Amino acid sequence: MYTSNNRYSEMSDKIVESVIDQFRTRAEEGKRTYGTTMERDDLTFAEWIQHLQEELMDAVVYIEKLKGEIGEKIILEKTEVV
């Protein structure tokens, strides 16, 4: 993973550094996969909004999945205590 050598590294906040590293890694993967960066100019405003909506819809699906897993875990824990 890429380690940043900028002002954020001087903060000694491992969580912030991890997030920055993840952004850099994701950007590199995106460039390899799609052959472009977020600086691309071939999409209209409406197309960017559509991409954002689709990403947020995916996020909601992930949340629902995790809620189900947490619910199942809580039910199992309650039945084990009884």
pLDDT of res. 1? 47
pTM of this prediction exceeds 0.75:
no
Torsion of CA 69, 70, 74, 79, to 10 degrees: 0
Asked if residues 30 and 37 have their Cβ atoms less than 8 Å apart, the reply is yes
**Domain assignments of the chain as residue spans, ordered by start:** 1-40, 43-82
Q: Nearest-CA neighbor of 51 among 19, 42, 31, 67?
A: 42
Residues 6+ apart with CB under 8 A from 17: 3, 4, 8, 9, 11
Q: How far out from the chain centre does Cα 20 lie? A: 12
**42-79 per-position pLDDT tens digit:** 999 999 999 999 999 999 999 999 999 998 888 878 88
